[in-house]
Amino acid sequence: MKHFIDIADFNSRKLNAILKTAKQIKKIPKKFANKCKNKTLGMIFQKESTRTRVSFNVGFQKLGGHSIELNPESIGFGKRESYQDVIRTLSQFIDILMIRNDDHNIIRNLSSLNVLPIINGLSNYSHPCQILSDFLTINEKLGNIKSQRICWVGDYNNVLRSLIELQCLYKFKLNVVMPKEILNKNKSQILKKNNTNLMVTNVINEGVKNADCVMTDAWVSMGEKSTKKRYFKNYQVNSDIMKNASVHAIFMHCLPAYRNEEVSSTLLDSNKSVVWEQAQNRMFVQQAIILDLL
């Protein structure tokens, strides 16, 4: 049974194949309109979501399938009965399950039951659907990812972990910028693969310099302590900061954005920003992931 839990579980050949399918779906959606006929996708969100919820739901309908969202409160997920027994029950009715959960270990553990293909729709640890679809956006906007310099400005969070996993496979240049209070705690973890194309710094202009793509995310992720926000006040990505990047540089953000915190409203709405297409690409990549798993 196949699952989609982390980027690091795959090799580049497999991810390239998923991306190729995503591009085909985007180009000729009609060709895929019946691929999931009579199939049911289950979705469980234990954290808030707009993009993941809608892109999985609409994306699966466009493949001819039916999706059902199970409110964790209503089914008493892990309370009325164990997580494992809920999954065993669901496997009697549905074909594939997407989970957004605060505990990555639960997602891993449930996938190891091997009763239902499971997709990680974000955990405290990673956000692989986001980064694989960002890979598509970068490819469309800039070309081959291997020749890009990507700069991340923000926390050491779920999205960054998946980005680092992608970098380990494709070896593009990745500059990671974060305040020293956060960098010092996580530096060895970030640099553990001893990869020369990955650098870390707490100097934002140094990290952004000559970047082809500047990415950021909320300073405080869902479920994290808001006290860490104070370290980030000099780490806003805005039009001035973007002047250090290459002239053709794009700005990316997985969204939701906190305007005038991690990104200035002006930059988010500028022609450097690709965030809305970035959000739309979630759907095509997730459709391709689903087709691969099924």
37-45, 99-107, 133-141, 153-161 -> range binding ligand NVA (CB under 6 A): 153-161
Residue 35 per-residue DSSP state: T
Query: Which does residue 50 bind out of ligand NVA, ligand CP, none, counting CB within 5 to 8 angstroms by kind?
Result: ligand CP
Region 156-215 residues binding ligand NVA, contact defined as CB under 6 A: 157-159
Q: Name the residue among 279, 275, 268 with its Cα closest to residue 238.
A: 268
- Cβ distance to ligand CP smaller for residue 26 or 127: 127
- The β-bridge partners of 198 are 174
Hey, what are 37's tokens? 């006929």
Which member of 222, 291, 293, 294 binds ligand NVA (CB under 6 A)?
222
Beta strand 149-153 pairing with 173-177: parallel
Query: Which does residue 199 bind out of ligand CP, ligand NVA, none, counting CB within 5 to 8 angstroms by kind?
Result: none
Q: Cβ 38 to ligand CP, closest distance in Å?
A: 27
CA distance 260 to 187: 27
* Cβ-proximal residue to ligand NVA, closest one: 221
Q: Give the contact letters, 52-71, x = binds to ligand CP (CB under 6 A), - = no.
A: x-------------------
Which member of 122, 218, 245, 274 binds ligand CP (CB under 6 A)?
122
Q: Cβ 184 to ligand CP, closest distance in Å?
A: 28
Specify burial of residue 31 (Cβ count, 10 A radius: 0-12, 13-18, 19+). Answer: exposed
Q: Is 50 in the site for ligand CP (CB under 6 A)?
A: yes
- The β-bridge partners of 174 are 150, 198
Q: Is 257 in the site for ligand CP (CB under 6 A)?
A: no
In terms of phi and psi (left: phi > 0; alpha: psi -120 to 50; beta: otherwise), the region of 48 is beta
Using CB under 6 A as the binding criterion, the count of chain residues that bind ligand NVA stands at: 9
CB 120 within 8 A of CB 4: yes
Region 69-128 residues binding ligand NVA, contact defined as CB under 6 A: 122
Q: Give the contact letters, 247-266, x = binds to ligand NVA (CB under 6 A), - = no.
A: -------x------------
CA distance 213 to 206: 14
Which member of 3, 51, 104, 149 binds ligand CP (CB under 6 A)?
51
CA distance 102 to 46: 7
Specify burial of residue 24 (Cβ count, 10 A radius: 0-12, 13-18, 19+). Answer: middle
* Strands across the sheet containing 198-201: 198-201, 173-177, 149-153, 213-216, 250-253
Length of the chain: 294
Q: Cβ 69 to ligand CP, closest distance in Å?
A: 13
Please give the residue ranges that form the binding site for ligand CP (CB under 6 A).
49-52, 122, 130, 254-256
Binding residues (CB under 6 A) for ligand NVA: these are 122, 157-159, 217-218, 221-222, 254
